[in-house]
Amino acid sequence: MTRGTVPLFSRRNGPLKSHATQVVGALRAAEAELDKDAQKAARDLARMALTISERYALGQIGALLDERDLKPPRRMGDALRLSLTAVLVAVMVIAAERQGAPEPAAIAAAVVIAAIIYRNAAAGGVAGVGLIILELLLGFFFPGK
């Protein structure tokens, strides 16, 4: 995050982490606009990416974007999402254990649950892998279909 320019236990790390969270929020908000006005959103994303890369290269890691571009952090939503994922995966493991399902099936189900909950960040990669694993497992349990 800080390119090794800030010591690990520096008090500067808190504000830098907060700024990084706001930058991520701004990028996610700009990405969400792609479905509404694709050309304007693409220009905004490109402008923001160029600004971030220039300032990062200059070592301005505490000012990657201007204040007008920053969005307030959504930490509570992320914490809630992580908690929900942990609870659902635990329930899935317990249910698989009680039903006598094989471990690979429980793992595949856990991957699919995590992909569904984190669909913005992982829909293409993790969900695709989870669906491939699920398809292989279904072929294992129901051969010839």
Q: What is the pTM of this model?
A: 0.50
Integer Cα distance of 136 and 75 in angstroms: 36
Angle at 116 between CA 114 and CA 117, to 5 degrees: 65
What type of residue is 89? V
Give residue-wise pLDDT tens across range 52-89: 899 888 888 888 888 888 866 565 566 777 788 888 88
Is 123 a residue whose pLDDT tops 50? no
How many residues comprise the chain? 145
